[in-house]
A and B are shown apart, each in its own frame.
Chain A
Amino acid sequence: MSKATIRNLLAAVLTALFSVTLIDAIFNISNMINPGVSNIYNALGTQIAPNLVTVVIFDFRAYDTLGESIILLSAGLVVLLIFGRGLLGDKR
């Protein structure tokens, strides 16, 4: 028995083991999911406004939205700084 055959046999066994574990995980994963804080969000958010996405973006995580708008501001600033270098200074 050559070395390649042993390796193929080992690979086949390990692949079978892995696939059995994967299928088991796929069929049992709904028991393992914990909704966690999502229930609280779903209960509280619909008291504020019907669109839960906007409630999350502008109420629970409004810091995040502030940071995103600052990203846009700095993007415009960097465009002006980099691409306008040498163009704007000469005209003044």
Chain B
Amino acid sequence: MSQGSVILKLVSLPISIILICLGIMTILGGHITPGGGFQGGAMIASGIILSILVYGIGNSPLELSHTYIEVLESVGALGFVIFGLIGLFVGGFFLYNVGADLLNVVPQSIQSVLHYPDVTNAGIIPYLNIFVGLKVFVGLSSIVIAFAGFKKLTEEGE
């Protein structure tokens, strides 16, 4: 799977790290700048994918293990749903924005816990951004890891 070029191998690891840092920055600034969880997660996944494509699945420096993928995917999905359930039990709607609290139905103590410490009144939006970013990053990169692994298995089988 890996291409033999030396320049490609030298250049692609720094580019992958820069892509991952840019994706994290996009996720964390999702409520004030353009972009958000989906876009940042896709950027991080593109960094991982670049590294896997260049170095091959077995000896990539940015390798994701099975447990890592499993834990991150579960944290992303369950965190989103748990934040939705908090909104359901506290505010009355599923995925009610408890931190911003436009309808003034949430007690002040609960609202100040989930209020994002920022000059904006974003509430739970940055946390949902982080969860969706985790989920998109792990989902996209696990598909490519699966394809590379299947190709390796097929080549070994022949």
Interface residues of A (CB under 8 A from B): 44, 47-51, 53-55, 57-59, 62-63, 65-66, 68-70, 72-73, 75-76, 79-80, 83-84, 87, 91
Q: Is the CB of A69 within 8 A of B80?
A: yes
Q: Is the CB of B146 within 8 A of A84?
A: yes
B32 touches which of A50, A62, A73 (Cβ 8 Å) = A50
B11 at the interface (CB under 8 A from A): no
Chain A residues, CB < 8 A from B128: 58, 62, 65
Q: Is the CB of A58 within 8 A of B125?
A: yes
| Identity of the chain A residue whose Cβ is nearest the Cβ of B95 in the assembled complex | A62
Q: Can you list 7 pairs linking A and B with CB atoms under 8 Å apart?
A: A48-B97, A48-B102, A57-B36, A58-B31, A62-B128, A76-B146, A79-B143
In whole angstroms, how far apart are the Cα atoms of A79 and B135 in the complex? 16
How many Å from the CB of B27 to the closest CB on chain A?
Answer: 11
Q: Is the CB of B30 within 8 A of A54?
A: yes
Which 7 pairs across A and B sit closest by C-beta, in order of nearness? A62-B95, A72-B139, A49-B31, A49-B122, A58-B125, A58-B128, A87-B153
Q: Is the CB of A83 within 8 A of B31?
A: no
Q: Is the CB of A87 within 8 A of B150?
A: yes
Chain B residues, CB < 8 A from A58: 30-31, 36-37, 124-125, 128-129, 132
How many Å from the CB of B24 to the closest CB on chain A?
Answer: 16
B33 at the interface (CB under 8 A from A): yes
Interface residues of B (CB under 8 A from A): 30-34, 36-38, 73, 76-77, 80-81, 84, 94-95, 97, 100, 102, 120-125, 128-129, 132, 135-136, 139-140, 142-143, 146-147, 150, 153-154, 157
In whole angstroms, how far apart are the Cα atoms of A70 and B84 in the complex? 15
Chain A residues, CB < 8 A from B33: 51
How many Å from the CB of A71 to the closest CB on chain B?
Answer: 9
| Identity of the chain B residue whose Cβ is nearest the Cβ of A80 in the assembled complex | B146
Chain A residues, CB < 8 A from B76: 69
Q: Is the CB of A51 within 8 A of B150?
A: no
In whole angstroms, how far apart are the Cα atoms of A54 and B136 in the complex? 16
Q: Which of A53, A65, A68 has the largest count of B CB atoms less than 10 A from its CB?
A: A65
17 further A-B contacts with Cβ under 8 Å, apart from A51-B36, A76-B142, are A47-B100, A47-B121, A48-B120, A48-B122, A48-B125, A49-B32, A49-B122, A50-B120, A53-B34, A54-B129, A58-B129, A59-B95, A59-B97, A66-B84, A68-B38, A73-B135, A79-B147
